[in-house]
Chain A
Amino acid sequence: MTQLTPTASFMTCRSPFIIAIALLLVTVGTAAAQTRTSRPSGSRSVEIGGYALMGQFSFAASESFDAILGTTSGPIFGGGATVGLPWGGLFVDLGAWQYAESGERALVLDGQVIPLGIPLDVTIVPIEISAGWKFRIRKLPKLIPYVAGGYTSLSYTETSTFSDSAEDVDDRFGGYHLRGGAEFKVTRWLGVAGEFAWTAVPDAIGSGGVSKTFGEDDLGGTSFRARITVGR
C-alpha cells in the first residue's frame, strides 16, 4: 500500500495568493493616488489599503486532520482589502485565504489510525469580514497595533478517489474570528504586519468521517499570519 505523504502544493494554493497580489497592485495604484490627493494619516478621510498574507494555520480538529492529512497544521495564502473609516482607528477588512492539502482515507480502530492508500484532497477557503481598531503610538508612529473580529464564511471541499459526487463534500459554514497584531510601516504606503488569529467554525464537521470518530466538529483553529500591506 502506498503511504501518501501530504503535500502542500503551492500550485493549488497560489490562486488566492495571485489574486491577492493583483489586488495589492491595484491597491498600490489607489493608495499612491490617495497619497497625492488625500489628507495625511489620522485625518478623517476614508483610506483604502490591501494586503497579501501567508501564514500557518493550526486546526482545532487536530486528531481528524492528523489522521487524514498527517498533519495538524499547514500553510495558508491569501489577501484582502482594508478600508480605514473616518472615525479614529476604526477599519473594516474583507479577506480570504486558502488551505489545501492532500492525504488519504483511513480507518480508526480502537484509536489506531490505519491509512488505506485512497487519495483525498481537502481545500478550505474562508472569507473573513472583520471590523477592528488601529492604535496610534505617538513615540512609534511607524508601528500600528490593531485588533479585529468578525464573521467567517468557510468553504470546505473534500474529494477522494473512488467516491461519487454525493460522497464528496462541498459545503459552506459560518463562524467567527478574532485577530490581533501590529503593522510596521516601511514606507508611507508600504508595510509589513504580523498577527495572531483565532477562528471558530462550529458544527462544520463531526457528523461523519474521522471527525465523528474523534468527536471534533470545529473547522477553525489558530493561525499566525504575515502580511504585506499597501496603503495608509
Chain B
Amino acid sequence: MTVLKTVRSVGLVAVVGAGLLTAKGTGQQPPAPAATRQLVQEASLPAIDRGLRDQDAPRAARSRDDADRLRAEAGDRLSYLRGSVIVKFKAEATTAGMTAATRQVAGDTVDRSGWANFDIIDIPDAADPEAAAALLRARPEVEYAQPRYRNYAMSKPNDPLYANQWNFPAIDMERAWDIQPGGTTSIIVAVLDSGVAFHSGTFRYNSRFPFRLVPGGPIYPALGIVDVPFAAAPELGTSGSTRFAAPRDLIWDDAFPVDLDSHGTHVTGTVGQLTNNSLGGAGMAYNVRIMPVKIIQAIWDEIFSSPHEGTDDVVARGIRYAADNGAKVINLSIGRSEGGPAPVVTDAMRYAVGKGVFIAVASGNTRASGNQPNRLAQPAPDINGMVAVSAVGRTLDSAYYSTSGSYVELSAPGGDQRAGGINAGILQQTLDLDLLETYERPVAQYGPPRADAFAYYYFQGTSMATPHVSGFAALLMQQGVTSPAAVEAAMKQFATDKGAAGRDDLFGDGLINPRATLRGLGLAR
C-alpha cells in the first residue's frame, strides 16, 4: 500500500512531464527493478575524501520544505500518508471487535510489519486519516490510533568553513576523554536516521519518473536504471567491520541502511567519529559500535521510489528493532512539528527504555518559525531514560532555531551560524554534497548521485546537538551507569545551568557537562 502511495505522489509529476521528456538511463538497460533496489556489487573503489569544504559558496539552509519538495509539486503537502492509519488493539480485543473497528473506518486490510506491536489499517484514499484515527480511538478495543505522520531530519546543513570542532572543548570533552576515553565496543549506539555511510558497494536503483523540485521549477528527467556507488565513510570505520552492528533499513526493507542524504552520516560522526587516528576530527564516543537504522527517506530515496517513508510507524519499528538487537543508546535526530501526538512512537520509546536503552531526541528547529514542538520529543519529561535536547551555539547561548518548551530537558552544542558565522556549526565528515545532490544542479547537469565521496561540513541544528548527548550517554554507560533513568538523572544533576536559574524551556536543566558527570562525586567535593 505504501509503495503505491509513494509511486502515485511522484507519478502525478510523471504524467505532467510524460509528453515532454524521455526517461534518461545510464547505458544499456537491464531489467528495471520495481520499487526495490539491488545490490549489484559488494565491493567498490575506496572512498574519496574531498577534505574540508570551507571555500564553497554558501548553501541555502535545508528545512522540512526541502524534504517536501517532490510531494509539494505533486500537490501533497500533508504531514501524513493518506490511505492508512496506525492502530494498536488492546490485548483483550476480540477478533470480532477488531473487525468491527476496521469496518467502521471502511478499512479492509490489517498489516503488521516486523518490530511492531501495532497494525496498519488501510482506509480509502479519500478518507481523512486523522478523523479515522479519532473514530478508532473512541472504540473500546483500541489502545491508540493515529495517522502515519511523516518525520524529517532536524538539521540545517550550511556552509562549510573552518576545520574547528569548537563543540567538544565547549563541553570539556578533552578532560572527559581522560576519564572515559571513547567507550568500548561493548556499547552499541543506534543511529535512527537517513542511513549511515557504513557499507561499500554498488546499488542499482530505478528512477522511473521525472519530477519538479519546486512548483513551476524545471522538470528533472527520470534517470532509468542507475548504479550508485557507496563507500563507508573513512572516519566512521571500514565496510564490513565490526564497528557496525546489526544494520537495518526500514525504508528499503533490507540490511543495507546506506545514506543517500548526508544527515545520518554527519550525526553518526558526532556520536562516534574515529578519533586519534590522524584523520579529520573527533567524535564523542569514538570506540563504541554503531547500529545504522534507516528510518528517514531522503530525496533520492523518494526519486528511486523507496517502498517506505519516514512515518511514525517506521520510526516506532526502528526503535523497537534497535532495542531488540542490542542497542544501549538510541539517537533520534529526527521528528516532526506537524500533526498530533505520536503514541505509536511513545509506546516504542517506553518499550526501548524498559529494555535498558537510553534515548536522546532532538527538541526541534522551529523557534524562529513558530516554535512548534517536535512531537516525538514531547513525551521526554514523562519517560525517565529519554531526554529532549535543545541546541546552543558557539557562545553557549541558545541557538536561534532551537525549539523551546516544557519538554526540553538538556542542551548541547548544535551550532548557531546566524550568531557565529559559518564555522559556528558542528563539523563532521559526511557525503560530498556536490556529488550527492545532483538535483541541485541545472537540469542539464543532473545525473545519478555518488555516495562514495566524502567531505567535512559544518551543519547546525538540534540534530547536531542530540548526538552529543547520545555519545555522552554511551560514555556514562561504559563508566557503569547502566540504567537509562540513571543516565538521565546524572546528566541533569551535573548540567551547567544556563539562562534563567534552574530549569527553563530553552536549556532544560542546562548544558551537558560530560567531564563533571563522568568524574562524579567525592566524599567532600
A residues whose Cβ falls under 8 Å from a Cβ of B: 1, 61, 64-65, 67-69, 103, 105-110, 112, 114-118, 120, 122, 156, 158, 160, 162-163, 167-169, 204-205, 207-211, 213
Contacts and interface: CB of A to CB of B under 8 A. Distances in A.
A158 B524 contact: yes
A110 B481 contact: no
Contacts of A68: 521-523
Given A109-B493, A114-B480, A114-B481, A169 B525 contact: yes
Name the residue among B479, B481, B521 with the largest chain A CB count within 10 angstroms.
Answer: B521
B523 A162 contact: no
Nearest to B175: A162
B522 A156 contact: no
A155 to B, nearest CB: 13
A210 B521 contact: yes
15 contacts: A1-B479, A68-B521, A106-B521, A107-B481, A109-B490, A116-B520, A118-B519, A118-B520, A122-B523, A158-B525, A169-B522, A208-B521, A208-B522, A209-B521, A210-B523
B489 interface: yes
Nearest to B487: A109
A162 B518 CA distance: 10
Main secondary structure of the interface of B (DSSP, over half): helix
A213 B524 contact: no
Interface in B476-522: 478-481, 485-486, 489-490, 493, 517-522
A116 B479 contact: yes
A204 B524 CA distance: 8
Given A109-B486, A109-B493, A116 B523 contact: no
B180 to A, nearest CB: 9
Given A116-B480, A116-B520, A162 B493 contact: no
Interface residues of B, number: 21
Contacts of B480: 1, 114-117
Contacts of A204: 524
Contacts of A109: 481, 485-486, 489-490, 493
B258 to A, nearest CB: 35
Contacts of B525: 158, 167-169, 208-209
B179 interface: yes
Contact of A209 (B481, B489, B522): B522
Contact of A205 (B178, B479, B524): B524
A69 B522 CA distance: 10
Interface string B174-193: 01001100000000000000
Contacts of B522: 68, 105, 120, 158, 160, 163, 169, 208-210
Contacts of A209: 521-525
A108 B179 CA distance: 18
A118 B178 CA distance: 11
Given A108-B521, A162-B179, 13 more contacts: A69-B523, A106-B520, A114-B481, A116-B481, A116-B519, A120-B522, A120-B523, A156-B524, A160-B522, A169-B524, A209-B523, A210-B521, A210-B522
A40 B519 CA distance: 61
A103 to B, nearest CB: 8
B524 A105 contact: no
Nearest to B522: A209
A95 B316 CA distance: 68
A29 B172 CA distance: 60
B481 A158 contact: no
B79 to A, nearest CB: 38
Nearest to A116: B520
Contacts of A207: 524
Nearest to B480: A1
B175 to A, nearest CB: 7
A83 B444 CA distance: 104
B495 to A, nearest CB: 14
A108 B521 CA distance: 8
A117 B521 CA distance: 11
A63 to B, nearest CB: 10
A109 B489 CA distance: 7
B515 to A, nearest CB: 9
Contacts of A112: 486
Interface in B164-214: 175, 178-179
A122 to B, nearest CB: 6
A211 B523 contact: yes
Nearest to B515: A162
Contacts of B179: 118, 162
Contacts of A1: 478-480
Interface string B411-447: 0000000000000000000000000000000000000
Nearest to B176: A162
Nearest to B478: A1
A167 to B, nearest CB: 6
A164 B490 CA distance: 22
Given A116-B479, A117-B480, A105 B175 contact: no
Contacts of B520: 105-107, 114, 116, 118
